[in-house]
């Protein structure tokens, strides 16, 4: 695909305009990134969506699967003992399955966040013997983690079919 054709396929969405409160800004940017990465995965063709295009083995579907585990660990208290395995998608998991599980994890995480009015308060999570993270820290971490992997997804998707933009 030519550079001109690629430029023509950009569909950038600007950062969100949110209210002035810190929680609104953090959640707005996190939602923007969540939607960006899920959109990168949703339209990608099989088998390319699960095929590694880089030496590390990273692939689009694995990135979204990993972020599902991160959302659940950060906001729902799930314990993950092998983070590397979260990047590997079983062959019988379809794109729709992985996207649906991600969106479900996000919805459950949002439900937890909806109950948190104080950013300095700990995230409510049922993990005993684990330090309580503040809501502010958890949101900032998820913005960083999702943004980092959304950037990876941008490059991987462009390698697959030339699609660029958010």
Task: Retrieve residue 50's tokens.
Answer: 């699960």
pLDDT tens track for 7-65:
445 566 777 777 789 999 999 999 999 999 999 999 899 999 999 988 999 999 999 99
3-class secondary-structure state, position 89: coil
**Distances from the Cα of 129 to the Cαs of 27, 62, 77, 109, 125, in angstroms?**
27, 30, 12, 21, 11
Enumerate residues 6+ apart whose C-beta is below 8 A from 22: 119, 136
Question: CA–CA separation, 155 vs 151, rounded Å?
Answer: 7
**Distances from the Cα of 124 to the Cαs of 112, 121, 152, in angstroms?**
7, 9, 30
pLDDT tens track for 93-106:
999 999 999 999 99
Model pTM? Answer: 0.89
pLDDT at 49: 95
For a pLDDT cut of 70, what percent of the chain falls above it? 90
């Amino acid at each position: 695909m030519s550079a001109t054709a690629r430029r023509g396929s950009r569909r950038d969405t600007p950062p969100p305009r949110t209210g002035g409160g810190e929680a609104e800004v953090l959640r707005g940017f996190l939602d923007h990134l969540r939607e960006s990465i899920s959109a990168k995965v949703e339209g990608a063709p099989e088998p390319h969506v699960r095929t590694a295009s880089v030496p590390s083995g990273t692939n689009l579907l694995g990135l979204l699967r990993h972020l599902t585990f991160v959302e659940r660990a950060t906001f729902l208290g799930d314990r993950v003992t092998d983070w590397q395995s979260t990047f590997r998608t079983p062959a019988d998991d379809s794109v729709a399955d992985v996207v649906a599980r991600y969106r479900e994890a996000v919805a459950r995480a949002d439900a937890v966040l909806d109950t948190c009015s104080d950013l300095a308060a700990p995230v409510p999570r049922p993990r005993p013997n684990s330090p309580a993270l503040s809501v502010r820290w958890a949101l900032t971490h998820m913005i960083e983690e999702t943004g980092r992997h959304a950037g990876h997804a941008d490059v991987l998707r462009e390698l697959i079919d030339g699609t660029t933009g958010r």
